[in-house]
Chains A and B, each alone.
Chain A
Amino acid sequence: MDARRTVPTLTPAMLVTWALFATLPFWIEPIGLYHYLGIEILIFATYALAYNLVLGHAGLPSFGHGAFFGIGAYAFGLAQFNIAPNLWICLAVAVLATALAGALVALFISHRRGIYFSLMTIAFGQVFWFVAMKAHAITGGEDGLLKIARLPADLGLTAIPLETNVALYYGVLAMFMLVSLGLWRLIHSPFGRVVKAIKQNEERARFIGYDVWACKFAVIVLSAALSGLAGGLFAMAQRSAFPDVMSLHYSGYIVMMTLIGGGLVSFWGPVIGAVVFFLARDLIGALTTSWMLWFGLLFVILVLFRPEGLAGLFEALRRKPPPAPVAAPDAKEA
C-alpha cells in the first residue's frame, strides 16, 4: 500500500486535545470546577477510548465492560497490599489481571455477534460484579478495598510523588497520552483495517482469509487490559476500589459516554463523551438530585436522532453546505 496514504502519527486533533488537557489545571478552578474532576474525566476518557475499541471500531456492543475496569481497580489495590507498593508493578498487575479476565471472556464470546454478544457480555459482567460483591475476604464486599495509596512514579533516578490532585492529574494525563497515541496507531495499522473490515461484514472478512476469531479475541483482550489500566488509575485516584463500577449501570454509563461523544464515527468521540458525562453530572447534579433522568433523556434523544453522537453532529455541521451523498453509506454502517 502507498506509504503516503498512511495517517500521520501526530495529528492536529490529537495535539489540540493533549494541549487542552495539559493546561486544564490552570483554568479549571477559575471556571468554578475542581482538579479532581479533571482526573475523573481523564481516567474515564482513557477507559472510553479503550471501550470504543470494541464498540466503535470492531462493532461489538459489550455491556459488561465495567467488570474489567473494576478488576483493574481491585488488582491495583491488591497488588499494592500484597506484592509491592510500586506504581509500575501495581499498574502492570492491573493490566495483566484484566487481560486474563478479558481472555477468559473472549474465549466464550469471540464467535458471537450483535445482540447475542451483548447478552453474553451482560452475563459475564454480572458474574464478575457478583463475585466482587460476595468475595468479602478478597474484595471487602460492598465496603470495598480502602486505604489504597497514591504511589509515586518511580523513574529510577528520581521518584515523582503523585499525592496531590494536580500531580496525579499529570500522571494520569501521561497515561492518557500514551493510550490515545497507541490506540491511534493501532486503529490505523493493518490490524486496525482488519478490525474495521470485521465490523462492516464479518463473513466477508472471513472469506477473504482473515482469522476473524483471533482478531476479535485480540480486540477484546486489548480493550479489557486498557480498561483495567484505567481502573487501576481510578483506584489510585479515589484511594479505594468498590464493586459499584462493575455493576450493569456503570457498564451502561461507559456505553452512554462513548455513544454520546460519537465513538461510532470518531476516534476522539469517546473523549468528548467522557467530558460531557462528567460535566453533566456536576452541572445538572448541582441543580437536581436526579441528574441521570436528564442525562438519560439526552441520551435517548441522541440515539433516536443522532446515533453518531456529538462528533457526528460537528461533522454534519462542518460539511453542511452540499448534502454529501458520499457520507450516506458510512452512516448506515455505523
Chain B
Amino acid sequence: MLIDLLPHLVNGLTLGLLFALIALGFMLILGLMEQINLAHGSLFALGAYFAFAIATPRLPLPPDMLKIWAGVPLGWRYTAAILIAPVLVAPFGVVIERLMRRTYGRDPLYGLLLTFGIAMVLEDLIRAVWGTRDYVLPVPRDISGGFLFLDLIWSRYRFWAAAFAIAAIAIVWLVVERTRFGAMVKAGAHDSEIVQALGIDLKKLRTGVFVFGTMLAALAGVILAPIWGIRPHMGVDAVVPAFLVIVLGGVGSFWGAVIAGLLVGMVVGLSGAYASEWSLLSMYLLLILVVTFRARGLFGKKSVLEA
C-alpha cells in the first residue's frame, strides 16, 4: 500500500521543492517592495526559453559559430544553459523594476495590474519569437532516463531537479540570513525609512533584490522545463502556484514558503495517486481551506496584504 504511494510521494516532494524555489524569488520582491510581481511567471518562462536556445542550440549567432557550439557535448551546453539563461533574463527584471518604481508606496493594486500587463506583453513576446508550439529541453544522458528500485521505475531527472532545488534554496537561505545584502533586504522590508536614514541606497537595494528574484525565477524555469515542457503558457502555470505557496506559508516567512511549497507539492502528488486528472485542483482547495481559517497563512506575520 505504502509502496504504491511512494512514487507519488517522491514526485510530490520534488514538485514541492521546485514550487518553493519559484516562490522564494517572488517572496523576496514582495517582502522588500510590498508588490506582487505577476510577471514572475513570465521571467520563469523566459529562463526556460533562453535555456532551450542555448542548449539546442538556436542562438542568434553567425552560422559557423553556431556550428562550433552545436559540436560541443550536450552536457556542456546544458550546464551553460543553467548558468547563462538566468543572466540573460536578469535585464528583464531590471526593466520591470524600473517601471515598478512609479507604483511604490501606492496601492499594491497598481503593482499587481502593472505586472499583469507586463506578463501579457512578455507572454506575447515569447509567442512572437518562438511561436506557440511546445519545445523539449534536452538533458544530458547522465541525468535522463529512469532506473529500477523496489520494482519501480524512477526518473533520474526528478532526483537531479530535487537535489538542485535543495542546493538553490540553501543558497537563498545563506544569502538572506548570512550576508550583508540579506540583512539589508530584511531591514528594508521591515522599515524602509530607517534603512535609508542609515545611508543605504534603497533604489540600488531594490534593483538588486529584483535581479536576484528574477534570476531565481529563470533558474527554476530551466530546472522545471524538462518536466513541464516549454510552452508560452508555462508562466501562468508557475506564477499561480508561487503566490499560492507564499499566501499559504505566510508572507515574509522563509521557512513558511519552503514548508508550504513542500505541502502543496505533496498534496498535488498524493492526490495524483487517486485522481490524476484532478490533482492540480487540490492545491487551490488547500489554499482556500487554510486561508479561510488562518488569513495570514501558516507562518505569516501581519503584512501589507492585510491592508
Contact = CB atoms under 8 A, between A and B. Distances in A.
Contacts of A293: 120-121, 124-125, 128
Contacts of B280: 130
A307 B247 CA distance: 27
A296 B110 contact: no
Nearest to B236: A248
Given A114-B305, A115-B307, A122 B243 contact: yes
Interface in A297-312: 297, 299-300, 303-305, 307
B243 A108 contact: no
Interface in A276-299: 288-293, 295-297, 299
B108 interface: yes
B254 to A, nearest CB: 19
Interface string B117-128: 110110111011
Contacts of B277: 134
A252 B240 contact: no
A61 B236 contact: no
Given A127-B284, A130-B280, A115 B112 contact: yes
A86 interface: no
B147 interface: no
Interface in B263-280: 277-278, 280
Interface stretch (B10-18, B47-55, B75-83, B285-293): B285-293
Nearest to B239: A248
Contact of A120 (B120, B127, B128, B291): B291
Contacts of A238: none
A222 interface: no
A165 interface: no
Contacts of A291: 124
A116 B244 CA distance: 11
Contacts of B36: 115, 118-119
Contacts of A115: 36, 108-109, 112, 304-305, 307
A309 to B, nearest CB: 11
A124 interface: yes
A249 B236 contact: yes
A73 interface: no
A252 B128 contact: no
Interface in B142-193: none
Nearest to A293: B124
A123 interface: yes
Contacts of B306: 113-114, 116
A259 interface: yes
Contacts of B113: 61, 255, 259, 299, 303, 307
B133 interface: no
B284 A126 contact: yes
B108 A300 contact: no
Contacts of B123: 292
Interface string A90-125: 000000000000000000100011111011101110
Contact of B128 (A112, A290, A304): A290
Contacts of B243: 119, 122
B124 A134 contact: no
A256 interface: yes
Contacts of A299: 113, 117, 120
B120 A131 contact: no
B124 A300 contact: no
Contacts of A255: 113, 116
A120 B124 CA distance: 26
Contact of A296 (B112, B121, B305): B121
Interface string B78-117: 0000000000000000000001001100011110111011
A206 to B, nearest CB: 15
A175 B118 CA distance: 34
Contacts of B125: 290, 293
A116 B288 CA distance: 12
Given A114-B108, A115-B305, A256 B128 contact: no
B195 interface: no
User: Which of A123, A249, A259, A299 has the most CB atoms of chain B within a 10 A radius of its CB?
Assistant: A123
Contacts of A114: 107-109, 305-307
Interface in B20-41: 36
B291 to A, nearest CB: 7
A130 B128 contact: no
A290 B112 CA distance: 22
A300 B102 CA distance: 11
B292 A108 contact: yes
Given A118-B109, A303-B114, A304-B102, A252 B120 contact: yes
Interface of A: 61, 63, 108, 112-116, 118-120, 122-124, 126-127, 130-131, 134, 248-249, 252, 255-256, 259, 288-293, 295-297, 299-300, 303-305, 307
10 contacts: A113-B306, A114-B305, A116-B295, A118-B112, A122-B240, A130-B278, A131-B281, A300-B99, A300-B117, A304-B103
Given A292-B124, A293-B125, 17 more contacts: A61-B112, A108-B288, A114-B108, A115-B36, A116-B247, A116-B291, A116-B305, A119-B243, A119-B305, A127-B285, A134-B281, A249-B120, A252-B116, A289-B127, A289-B128, A303-B103, A305-B102
